Amino acid sequence: MSEKIAVYEDKMQKSLKSLETDLQGIRAGRANPHVLDKITVNYYGSPTPIQQVANVTVPEARIIQIQPWEAKMIKEINKAIMASDVGITPTDDGRVIRLVFPELTEERRKVLVKDVRKKGEAAKVAVRNIRRDGNEMLKKMKKEDGVSEDEVKDLEEELQKLADKYVKEVDVVIEDKSKEIMTV
- 48 and 7 in a single domain? The answer is no
- 109 and 175 in a single domain? The answer is yes
Taking the C-alpha atoms of residue 21 and residue 28, their distance in angstroms, rounded to an integer, is 14
- 86 and 141 in a single domain? The answer is no
Residue by residue, pLDDT tens for the chain (184 residues) are 577 788 899 999 999 999 988 887 776 667 778 878 888 998 888 999 988 899 999 888 888 899 999 888 898 888 888 888 777 888 888 889 998 887 878 888 888 899 899 999 999 999 999 999 999 988 888 888 777 888 888 888 999 999 999 999 999 999 998 888 887 6
- 49 and 138 in a single domain? The answer is no
Of the three residues 68, 83, 100, the one that is the final residue of a domain is: 100
Tally of domains in the chain: 2
Sequence-ordered list of residues with C-beta below 8 angstroms from that of 45, at least 6 positions apart, any chain: none
- 76 and 9 in a single domain? The answer is no
Residue 132 structural domain: 3-24+105-182
Alpha carbon distances (Å) from 108 to 16, 76, 85, 111: 25, 30, 15, 5
- 95 and 114 in a single domain? The answer is no
pTM, two decimals, is 0.72
- 80 and 51 in a single domain? The answer is yes
Backbone angles phi, psi at 64, to 5 degrees: -110, 130
Residues 142-153 as b/e (b if ≥16 CB within 10 A, e otherwise) read beeeebeeeebe
